């Protein structure tokens, strides 16, 4: 797949169809990758594809983090591809400005443990959709997992009492050092000024206190409701190991159950939190 | 949760028992007018509720609710126009989705859901307003002080 990817990148850059190819290259540590920005055909051989291509590169498309004349070609695993589609839906990037190179993906491995990522075990989509180019053989892809597999991790918490849940999250959030890595790595967190850093008025206390951490952790996940594509990057980058995927998975579950919506799957679908139906069901308003 | 904070924060009621503080976020056009009607009709209801008027339930950001809890509310009530009656056509429909998600999140984090309640009260429903306020107040009084939030905010 790496050879095909390099060949495609060379073609795109030589023909001028793309001015940059965002992909993965070898990192300094063996067995790891790092995002690379390839701007000339001669450099195309720096691109690699293996089971350590962890980063969600869609983050470089949002919030004008990256500027170029001409089109951006971007290497995307199916999960990252959903993030790109969601950005298109939210008018953060024009679909015609990107060339999506979708990778047939049989799963990524954790850098340290070498084990398959949890999200890959629950992956419903090993073959990319909505892309311009496909690298890899769709027939070789693993079978999609059960759609509810990603929610199994929620069951333990959902079975707890409210007091136990509160104790669980108080303990987890108390570890937060407010580095905002979870926010920076998220393609959907593209606000030029984050509510977590507003001071007048200050909605979320910015110091590293139980109150501020609780509020930040909760709102980061709430703002991702209906938009999170479960790429799992927030939890992967959290330096203190807070299980952030539980919060985003909870929101994904609610959105799916209540509004039958999957983020990033259909570029033309109306976003669930900006739309409504007069007969939306709820069971808590009297 | 520990009990030593309870006595410190407890506000004494007439009989010396715990009296909860309830913050109510209401919309201007329906629930506020409904509460007004309850007043002009001289209907009685418990005085634990502090009403904050906003133009529309669509203007009620979950941040307001969290701030109320952080600043000592034992319970929060959100109330606005019935579906179909929004002065701005669709504000309450948007609010309904937003609060569906917010409520699910707070429940998942472990808040006692009797502390966070929602109602539709129209301008003609002064009687319903008194019932809602009484019911919310009783439920929160039963739960006692909001120790979870108080402990969270203690060291700030
Ligand atoms: S979740 Fe699916 S698409 Fe994403 S890295 Fe894992 S296997 Fe690949
Ligand atoms: S990455 Fe982890 S420690 Fe850093 S702000 Fe996010 S939750 Fe807190």
Q: What is the pLDDT of residue A62?
A: 83
Residue A24 has pLDDT above 60, yes or no: yes
Which domains are seen in chain A, by residue range?
2-140 (no CATH), 149-259 (1.10.1060)
Q: What is the pLDDT of residue A170?
A: 95
Q: What is the pLDDT of residue B6?
A: 42
Query: Across chain A, what does the average pLDDT equal?
Result: 94
Q: What is the pLDDT of residue B12?
A: 47
Q: What is the pLDDT of residue A169?
A: 97
∠ CA(A218), CA(A116), CA(A165), 5° rounding? Answer: 30
* Any domain includes B10: no
Helix H, strand E, coil C: the string for A196-210 is HHCCCCCCCCCCCCH
Residue B1 has pLDDT above 50, yes or no: no
Average pLDDT over residues A7-26: 96
Q: pLDDT-derived band of residue A69, with 50, 70 and 90 as boundaries?
A: confident
Q: What is the pLDDT of residue A66?
A: 67
Contacts of A276 in chain B (CB under 8 A): 90, 93-94, 96-97
Residue A26 has pLDDT above 60, yes or no: yes
Residue A213 has pLDDT above 70, yes or no: yes
**Residue A38 forms beta bridges with which residues?**
A21
CA A220 to ligand 2 center in whole angstroms: 10
Q: Residue B156 is nearest to which of A170, A209, A276, comparing CB atoms?
A: A209
ipTM > 0.95 for the complex? no
Phi, psi of B70 (to 5 degrees): -60, -35
CA A100 to ligand 1 center in whole angstroms: 16
Query: Which residue in A190, A276, A262 sits closest to A227, CA to CA?
Result: A262
Q: Residue B100 is nearest to which of A160, A278, A282, comparing CB atoms?
A: A282
Domain range for B109:
20-155
Contacts of A219 in chain B (CB under 8 A): 62-63, 66
CA A189 to ligand 2 center in whole angstroms: 14
Q: What is the pLDDT of residue A67?
A: 73
Q: pLDDT-derived band of residue B130, with 50, 70 and 90 as boundaries?
A: very high
pLDDT in tens, A130-172: 999 999 999 999 999 999 999 999 999 999 999 999 999 999 9
Cis peptide before A201 (omega within 30 of 0): yes
Q: Return d(Cα A206, Cα A39) in angstroms, integer.
A: 39
Q: What is the pLDDT of residue A31?
A: 87
**Residue A3 forms beta bridges with which residues?**
none
A72: its two tokens: 């951006």
Which of ligand 1's atoms lies nearest the C-alpha of A108?
Answer: 5
Q: Residue A276 is nearest to which of B62, B93, B152, comparing CB atoms?
A: B93
Parallel, antiparallel or unpaired: strands B22-27 and B49-54:
parallel
* Any domain includes B39: yes
pLDDT in tens, A111-136: 999 999 999 999 999 999 999 999 99
CB pairs < 8 Å spanning A and B: 111
Q: What is the pLDDT of residue A63?
A: 64
Contacts of B118 in chain A (CB under 8 A): 284-286
In Å, how far is B41's CA from the nearest CA of chain A? 22
CA A245 to ligand 2 center in whole angstroms: 12
pLDDT in tens, B86-124: 999 999 999 999 999 999 999 999 999 999 999 999 999
Average pLDDT over residues B118-138: 97
* A178 alpha carbon, closest ligand: 2
Q: What is the pLDDT of residue A65?
A: 63
Query: Across chain B, what does the average pLDDT equal?
Result: 90
B14: its two tokens: 């007439």
Q: pLDDT-derived band of residue A64, with 50, 70 and 90 as boundaries?
A: low
CATH code for the domain of B151? 3.40.50
Contact map slice: A 245-274 vs B, CB within 8 A: 247, 250-251, 254-255, 258-259, 272-274
Average pLDDT over residues A224-248: 96
Q: What is the pLDDT of residue B115?
A: 97
In Å, how far is A102's CA from the nearest CA of chain B? 32
Please tell me which residue of chain A has the smallest CA distance to B128. Answer: A286
- Domain total for chain B? 1
pLDDT in tens, B3-19: 444 444 444 444 568 99
Q: pLDDT-derived band of residue A252, with 50, 70 and 90 as boundaries?
A: very high
CA A178 to ligand 2 center in whole angstroms: 5
Q: Residue A276 is nearest to which of B97, B108, B120, comparing CB atoms?
A: B97
* Any domain includes B149: yes
């Amino acid at each position: 797949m790496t050879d095909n990817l390099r060949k495609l990148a060379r073609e795109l850059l030589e023909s001028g169809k793309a001015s940059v190819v965002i992909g993965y290259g070898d990192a300094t540590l063996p067995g790891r990758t790092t995002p690379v920005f390839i701007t000339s055909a001669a450099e195309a051989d720096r691109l690699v594809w293996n089971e350590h291509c962890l980063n969600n590169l869609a983050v470089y498309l949002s919030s004008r983090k990256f500027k170029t004349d001409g089109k951006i070609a971007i290497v995307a695993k199916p999960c990252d591809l959903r993030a790109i589609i969601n950005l298109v839906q939210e008018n953060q990037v024009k679909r015609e400005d990107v060339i999506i190179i979708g990778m047939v993906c049989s799963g990524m491995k954790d850098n340290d443990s070498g084990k398959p990522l949890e999200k890959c075990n629950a992956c419903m989509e090993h073959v990319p959709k909505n892309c311009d180019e496909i690298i890899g053989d769709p027939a070789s892809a693993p079978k999609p997992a059960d759609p509810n597999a990603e929610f199994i991790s929620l069951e333990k918490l959902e079975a707890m009492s409210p007091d136990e849940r509160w104790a669980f999250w108080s303990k987890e959030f108390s570890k937060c050092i407010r580095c905002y890595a979870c926010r920076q790595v998220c393609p959907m967190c593209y606000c030029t000024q984050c509510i977590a850093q507003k001071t007048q008025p200050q909605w979320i206390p910015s110091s590293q206190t139980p109150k501020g951490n609780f509020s930040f952790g909760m709102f980061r996940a709430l703002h991702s409701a209906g938009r999170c594509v479960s790429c799992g990057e927030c939890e992967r980058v959290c330096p203190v190991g807070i299980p952030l995927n539980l919060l985003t998975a909870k929101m994904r579950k609610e959105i799916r159950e209540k509004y039958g919506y999957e983020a990033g799957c259909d570029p033309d679908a109306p976003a669930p939190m900006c739309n409504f139906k007069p007969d939306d069901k709820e069971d808590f308003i009297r | 949760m520990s009990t030593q904070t309870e006595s410190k924060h407890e506000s004494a009621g007439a009989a010396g028992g715990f009296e909860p503080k309830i913050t109510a976020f209401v919309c201007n056009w329906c629930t506020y007018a409904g509460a007004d009607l309850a007043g002009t009709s001289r209907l009685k209801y418990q005085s634990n509720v502090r009403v904050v008027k906003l133009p529309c339930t669509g203007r009620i950001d979950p941040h307001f609710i969290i701030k109320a809890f952080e600043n000592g509310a034992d319970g929060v009530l959100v109330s606005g126009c019935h579906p179909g009656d929004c002065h701005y056509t669709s504000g309450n429909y948007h609010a309904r989705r937003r609060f569906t998600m917010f409520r699910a999140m707070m429940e998942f984090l472990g808040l006692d859901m009797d502390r966070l309640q929602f109602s539709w009260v129209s301008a003609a429903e002064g009687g319903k307003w008194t019932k809602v306020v009484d019911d919310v107040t009783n439920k929160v009084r039963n739960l006692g002080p909001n120790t979870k939030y108080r402990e969270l905010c203690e060291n700030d």
